[in-house]
Amino acid sequence: MPPLRERAEDIPLLVWTLLEEFSVRMGKKITQVPRTTMEALQRRRWRGNVRELRNVIEHGAIISEGDTLKVPLLEDVSPELAHPVTLADAEREHILRALERSGWHIKGPHGPRRPLGSSRPPSTAG
């Protein structure tokens, strides 16, 4: 089965299924999920699988008051930061942004060397 991050279309059904389970277990009746919350859940790059989504929804169900799901982990974060990032992901994004700013020039005075924090040309030793 593909990872959850590749199945964003499955997330709404999973969220409602998990909310049903938690409503019964916690004695709460959560019947609304704000559209922005559902969209943030679908945008998030889930490193784990359904278990990670389950933990986020369970936490939201615990802290929610009333009938609307509240997921502060997603609501207080911009879309770009709505997912955990590995160091490799952050480096890749930084390099891609530097290349985009340089017009995808790799060498020369307009290349991405300075924005990437490099003041000397790459070594040609092999």
CA–CA distances in Å: residue 123 to residues 22, 108, 120, 126 = 57, 15, 9, 8
Mean pLDDT of 94-116: 69
Instruction: Please determine, for residue 126, whether its predicted confidence score (pLDDT) is greater than 50.
Output: no
Q: What is the pLDDT of residues 78-98, one digit of tens each?
A: 444 444 456 776 677 777 777
State residue 34's pLDDT score: 92
Q: What is the pLDDT of residues 33-83, one digit of tens each?
A: 999 899 889 888 887 788 889 999 999 999 999 999 998 866 544 444 444
More confident residue, 50 or 103: 50
State residue 45's pLDDT score: 82
More confident residue, 18 or 84: 18
Q: What is the pLDDT of residues 24-34, one digit of tens each?
A: 999 999 999 99
State residue 77's pLDDT score: 47
Q: Are 65 and 48 in contact (CB under 8 A)?
A: no
Q: Are 44 and 74 in contact (CB under 8 A)?
A: yes
Q: Are 56 and 42 in contact (CB under 8 A)?
A: no
In the chain, the amino acid numbered 47 is: R
Q: Cα separation of 107 and 102, whole Å?
A: 10
CA–CA distances in Å: residue 98 to residues 85, 103, 104, 115 = 18, 9, 8, 6
Q: Cα separation of 35 and 41, whole Å?
A: 10
